[in-house]
Amino acid sequence: YMHSETHRLFPKIRSLAHVHAPALTQLSLLADVPNDSLTLNAGFWPDRVPVYDEPDLVRDRETAQRLARLQGREVVCLLRWHGAMIAAPSIRQAVVRAIHAEENARFILGTMSLGRDVVPLMHGEERKAMYAKIATPKHLAAYWQFESSLVALPPEGPGAKI
C-alpha cells in the first residue's frame, strides 16, 4: 500500500525503497532526529526528517496515505522502530539514495558518540544546489556500476528470470 499511495499522491516520485537498514532504524529511535547531512553524497537529506510514529505495519490504503502525506516530497522518511522509506525518480536512484542514507545515518550516530561539535553540510537550498552538482546521471551510472558489481544481478530484458 505504501508504494501505491505514494505514487497516487505524488506522481513525480516514481520509486520508493522501503529499507530495514540498521543505522536508519537506530536513528528512528531518537526523539529528536538530527537533520544534518555529513557526506556530500547525502546532500538529499531533509532539513526536517519526517518520522512515522505508528507502531504497526502499513496494512491498508488509509494508513499508507498518512505515511505518504507525512513523507510528502522528502527523500527520507524514518519509520519509528522499523526502518525508512527512500523516495526517488527511479529505482536506481532510490537504491543509491538508500545506500547513502544508511551511510549518513551511521556517520550521524558515530559523531554523536564522540560528544564533539560536528561540521555538517549547509542546509536548505544551498545544500540542494550542491547535491544537484554532484548527483549527475554520470555519477549515478558510475555508482550503480560499482555497487552492482558487488552482487549477482539477474539478466535484464523480456523473458528474464529472476
DSSP category for residue 152 = P
Of the CA atoms within 13 Å of residue 143, those in its CB half-sphere come to: 17
pLDDT of 19:
97
Reduce the DSSP state of residue 85 to 3 states and report it. Answer: strand
pLDDT exceeds 60 at position 99: yes
| Cβ 134 vs Cβ 143: under 8 Å | no
Instruction: With cut-offs at 50, 70 and 90, classify the pLDDT of residue 156.
Output: confident
pLDDT of 52:
97
Instruction: With cut-offs at 50, 70 and 90, classify the pLDDT of residue 160.
Output: low
pLDDT of 53:
95
Instruction: With cut-offs at 50, 70 and 90, classify the pLDDT of residue 43.
Output: very high
Residue 111 burial by Cβ neighbours in a 10 Å radius (0-12, 13-18, 19+): middle
pLDDT of 152:
79
Choice among 32-41, 43-52, 59-68, 153-162 with the minimum mean pLDDT: 153-162
Residue with cell 556530500: 40
For residues 3 and 76, give the distance between their C-alpha atoms in angstroms, rounded to a whole number.
14
* Mean pLDDT of the region 50-77: 94
Q: Which three cell numbers stand for residue 66?
A: 498518512
DSSP category for residue 122 = P
For residues 155 and 37, give the distance between their C-alpha atoms in angstroms, rounded to a whole number.
35
pTM of the predicted model as reported, rounded to 2 decimal places? 0.89
pLDDT exceeds 80 at position 28: yes
Query: At what angle are helices 2-9 and 61-71 packed, to 10 degrees?
Result: 60
For residues 41 and 31, give the distance between their C-alpha atoms in angstroms, rounded to a whole number.
25
